[in-house]
Amino acid sequence: MAVFLNVENYSEQNRLSPPTPYLDDEIGFFLFYGKITEMTSFWDNLPQPFFILAPMEAVTDVVFRHVVKQAGAPDIFFTEFANATGWVHAGDKAIAGRLIKTDDEQPLIAQIWGGEPGDMEAFAKHCAELGFNGIDINMGCPAKSAIKSGGAALIRRPDIAIAAIDAAKKSGLPVSVKTRLGYTYVDEWREWLTAILKQDIVNLTIHLRTKKEMSKVAAHYELIDEIVKLRDEIAPQMLLTINGDIRDREHGLEIARKHPGVNGIMIGRGVFSDPFCFRKSKTDTDNHKEELLTLLNYHLDLFDSYQPILGRPFETLKRFFKIYIHDFDGAKELREKLMHTTTTDEVRSILAHNDHPHYTY
């Protein structure tokens, strides 16, 4: 049985209105580090396989997580990834709302990155104070800004990767890692994953590509069984999650059936093709357009609700339009109109004159 700090703060949210923002200065609890209760982590009580919404920069903020929750919730949510060193030196301004959350997102994992163990420890403890359910360390992001000191750069610095894991564990929260097969070559996977599998983390998520491959090639599903075998040899208690080119729940279940030993399925870009990708029941094709436009209206309401807190420009909303406006007659023309809007009210006006659906969220 694992020993973790546990913080529960649940409240029933009204489905008809956006959830109440949960801000740093409104935390209604304190952690008492001297009174740690023995308990199992939420990771021990998940369905098999479990489904995770992948952390995506400028996508999986508090607004979009609630959109996905409304469409069909995964078993676990991840935040956007936030930089530990930036927060240590510049505070909340450096992470630009990436840790804003509400108390109806359960369980919610804070994904953090960096290359300074001391900063990782301080930031992970901060995440514990905010009430997150776990810490995930990003060791796979290929972005130039990340690989200067973290992300996929840690694949080449296993000593720093191990130190970062040890530092994050001091938060008292369960620690997991998301990484790639290697930095440059696919055959780096065995040595690199062996190093991480020896670190006694709760879950290892593997994006089945290298840093160099980005998302330009097909995910290497042919390696799944070998990776499962390696996990079983080194750390059979560790959960193993697969990520890369997974379209939806049905596809994820198929992967789990074909590859016994896979515990979790993480979906990232699949949500852009189908925001209902985590839904357990199939989407009603007869009402697909209505559902998509209703979900877009909900997204608009959430965007307005959180705008004073997040301060994200309206232009950032436009990257989401393609999620909702596709696969129905006139979708291309409607999407082009929306791309020329400048406010959420303007978007609503155009939707209202385009067979506006019954608004139920």
Contact status, residue 214 vs residue 243, Cβ threshold 8 Å: no
**Residues found in the chain:** 361
d(CA 318, CA 314): 7
Paired residues of 135 in beta bridges: 110, 175
- DSSP-derived pairing of the beta strands 50-53 and 76-78: parallel
Q: How far out from the chain centre does Cα 127 lie?
A: 15
Preceding omega of 21 cis (within 30 degrees of 0): no
Joined together, the tokens standing for residue 357 give 């659906």
The residue with tokens 């006006």 is 349
Contacts of 160 (CB under 8 A, 6+ apart): 115, 117, 154
Active site residue 277: no
**Would you call 124 helix, strand, or coil by DSSP?**
helix
Q: Compute the CA torsion angle 161, 165, 168, 170 (nearest 10 deg).
A: -130
Q: What secondary structure letter does DSSP report for 222?
A: G
- Please tell me which residue in 52, 100, 124, 141 is annotated as part of the active site: 141
For strand 76-78 and strand 108-113, is the pairing parallel, antiparallel, or unpaired? parallel
At 149, list the tokens: 């000191």
DSSP string, 285-317: GGGHHHHHHHHHHHHHHHHHHHHHHH---GGGG
Catalytic residues: 141
